[in-house]
Amino acid sequence: MYVGHGSASSGGVALTFHTAGDPLIVADILSQANHLAVKATFFLVGTWAAANPGTVARIVEEGHDLGNHTWSHTDLAHLAPGPMFDEIERCANVLQSLTGSIGKWFRPSQIDVPTAAILAQAGHAGYTTSVGFDVDPLDYTDPGAAAIEARARPRLHPGAIVSLHTLYTGTAEAFTPVVEAVRASGLEPVTVSTLLG
């Protein structure tokens, strides 16, 4: 099934990261999260995870959620079912080998809301839930930290799932301000597992 947000009765907001790019940006976000006592959810691109096992281990050791974001971040919706499954399964296999688990959550690459075919292949690979988002500050356009925080802040609400990317330093610089904005709204940053159960 596809889930785009949590319950409106929740006091939590899930901060989620499409995870690829410079591992130093991920390390910066993890250090801030540790300082702020915040847990987040990282949807890993399989090729990135395979190349950065130490960072993957740190994500797990520090108590964050892991999810599958396909093997190569291809345009999943335009693949036939077989190659679509392979993209999901290859990432799952890397997560399994590095962490002992395929992770509970899936997020498709290059499409926000999965098609029925994507949901079917994700289910075949062992995932029951495809996790979307309903707060998108468009950080992948590299607008800078101030713009990311300003775009996210007014859209925060109980049960929100925020889409972020580990591609640019601006996202790392926005992380603490976004966490502060969540808390200023009377909410608390949580993992997808905490938000969705």
pLDDT category of residue 135 using cuts at 50, 70 and 90: very high
Write down the pTM of the prediction: 0.97
* Contacts with 167 (C-beta within 8 Å, 6 or more apart), sequence order: 18, 20, 21, 22, 25, 139, 140, 142
In this prediction, residue 50 carries a pLDDT of 98
Q: Could you give the domains of the chain?
A: 2-196 (3.20.20.370)
Q: Report the pLDDT averaged over residues 88-109.
A: 98
Average pLDDT, the chain: 97
pLDDT category of residue 197 using cuts at 50, 70 and 90: confident
User: What CA–CA distance (Å, rounded) separates 174 from 34?
Assistant: 15
Q: What is the pLDDT of residues 11-56, one digit of tens each?
A: 999 999 999 999 999 999 999 999 999 999 999 999 999 999 999 9
In this prediction, residue 195 carries a pLDDT of 98
Q: What is the pLDDT of residues 68-79, one digit of tens each?
A: 999 999 999 999
Pairing between strand 161-165 and 2-3? unpaired
In this prediction, residue 71 carries a pLDDT of 98
